[in-house]
Chain A
């Protein structure tokens, strides 16, 4: 009797556990299918896409076929993606936090309010409205400055600073508002110069919010497709991973052994990063959304 009683009480929990496991498996099946089929030959995939691969060694074969493929330079695309993401984050964080600090410390002044409002309002602009004029404009600007902006890392990093600054300034602004001003006043009395107050006192306090800004922008820039496609071109010298994967899949239509392996290679670095920085990534995403 006692056993059935406790079972009755535990039953809802057991059902919930089972339901959760089922749901989780459902969520993960797409990834499992990528891994399974990346270890198959295209013949095996056509015969049975669901079966386990005959020989896991095929995974290595497929990977080396992608690394040695002339249509896509996976390693260089990966390198370009890393360089572009890191440099963009660096300039976004430095310049947005500087600007946000000045805007907060002059909060009552009209110019500060107007600049802040314009940055925030710009978040509503969809990329589609300005993407073609942007390309045309960057070409003109490049000619005027005698500095090539299209097809170069500097050009796309410049663009990412423009697109990333709105949200970043907004997030920094909210955080800096809560830093007590007395801290800076004390430093001024001690003879600390105005710019040094920012770099030596305020900036170190921004660490937690920098992580948030880094993650919000990092996920977006790493996965972005249209901007690099338009600014760098689909097969230029500089190429990001999403553009490379698309160019590759376009060249090997329906050759799923190669396409899936290339998607696997694009996923793995992110998963590895996620395993290490999971706590920060989740925290950053929540903070970014709620603000």
Chain B
């Protein structure tokens, strides 16, 4: 038995040690720095209490980033769900080459946000503009990325393109776990395809919808890579009377704040992001618990 405890410790040690060094210590420091005047340059750090947080409420660029991130997240949840649900219905239907399609729709997810951002920047700024000029379509002649009112939508479209294939896989797994006999019985009773989808498929997939909702919410709130290479926050716009970046999502706002050596302020913003994610996760966990009870 004594040998067991020694082995237990030896087996846990590498991961626990690394976890403390990489997650626990930096995370604790991160929370602490949000309460200080850390600027990344000066080695002397003073404790300032919640000053950084109270300042955030009248920092227009932060409020703007927060609001557009919420908007971006809502659009994503709707778009990603509609597209991925449609895709999952298609690849579980009797369409020819359905496995080929399923594999294809997933490809964008494999390519990271950095690379995708460049590709779509090219499509938006060059391909569409070039089509607009060639065929005289006025709407396309200036890039959607250069207009403050459309740029968030473009990011959502790119995000939908990237994530739908992944969410589709989750829905496909859910659809395939529903007994075929259920749908067949309903069809015999005269239910059409649409009624089957709404009365049987969607209620049976409730769990898959919660998973995808959670994934889309957290991914959208943390979005950074694609934001960086697709728009880098641009174009400029005005909010609360001051110039701000029209597509600077929360994660990029934190990054830019830190790049300007306002480290403590960036930490405070990051803590806000953390709190939002905790709330979302707690709702998800309690939702799951409720469902397990019902089962």
Q: Which A residues fall within an 8 A CB radius of B?
A: 13, 16-17, 19-20, 23-24, 27-31, 33-34, 37, 45, 48-50, 91, 95-96, 98-99, 101-103, 106, 115, 119, 122, 124-134, 136-137, 141, 158-159, 161-163, 165-166, 169, 193-195, 198, 219, 222-226, 242, 245-246, 249, 256, 259-260, 263, 266-267, 270-271, 274, 278, 281-282, 285-286, 289-290
Which residues of chain B have C-beta atoms less than 8 A from A263's C-beta?
Answer: 115, 118-119
Q: Which of B21, B109, B134, B161 contacts A141 (CB 8 A)?
A: B21
Q: Which of A98, A129, A159 contacts B273 (CB 8 A)?
A: A129
Which residues of chain A have C-beta atoms less than 8 A from B120's C-beta?
Answer: 30
**Distance from A14 Cβ to chain B, minimum over Cβ atoms (Å):** 10
Instruction: Indicate if the CB atoms of B267 and A163 lie closer than 8 Å.
Output: no
Q: How far is the CA of A96 from the CA of B263 in the complex (A)?
A: 33
Q: Which of A28, A96, A130 contacts B23 (CB 8 A)?
A: A130
**Category for how many chain B residues contact A:** 35 or more
Which residues of chain B have C-beta atoms less than 8 A from A13's C-beta?
Answer: 94-95
Q: Which of B3, B22, B30, B33 contacts A162 (CB 8 A)?
A: B22
Nearest B residue (CB) for A96: B15
**Distance from A74 Cβ to chain B, minimum over Cβ atoms (Å):** 13
Q: Could you jot down 21 A-B contacts, CB within 8 Å?
A: A13-B94, A16-B95, A20-B95, A31-B119, A48-B130, A49-B126, A49-B127, A115-B12, A115-B16, A122-B27, A130-B29, A133-B25, A133-B29, A133-B33, A141-B21, A163-B23, A165-B15, A222-B112, A224-B112, A245-B118, A267-B111
Q: Which of A27, A129, A158 contacts B161 (CB 8 A)?
A: A27
Q: How far is the CA of A42 from the CA of B170 in the complex (A)?
A: 41
**Distance from B166 Cβ to chain A, minimum over Cβ atoms (Å):** 6
Confirm or deny: B229 has a beta carbon within 8 angstroms of a beta carbon on chain A. Answer: yes
Contact with A along B7-47 (1 / 0, CB 8 A): 11011101110110111011101110100000010000000
Q: Which of B11, B101, B107, B211 contacts A289 (CB 8 A)?
A: B211
Instruction: Indicate if the CB atoms of B173 and A290 lie closer than 8 Å.
Output: yes
Q: How far is the CA of A33 from the CA of B130 in the complex (A)?
A: 13
Instruction: Indicate if the CB atoms of A24 and B270 lie closer than 8 Å.
Output: no
Confirm or deny: B205 has a beta carbon within 8 angstroms of a beta carbon on chain A. Answer: no
Instruction: Indicate if the CB atoms of A106 and B7 lie closer than 8 Å.
Output: no
Which residues of chain A have C-beta atoms less than 8 A from B179's C-beta?
Answer: none
Instruction: Indicate if the CB atoms of B270 and A162 lie closer than 8 Å.
Output: no
Instruction: Indicate if the CB atoms of B115 and A165 lie closer than 8 Å.
Output: no
Instruction: Indicate if the CB atoms of B267 and A246 lie closer than 8 Å.
Output: no
Confirm or deny: B71 has a beta carbon within 8 angstroms of a beta carbon on chain A. Answer: no
Instruction: Indicate if the CB atoms of A245 and B11 lie closer than 8 Å.
Output: no
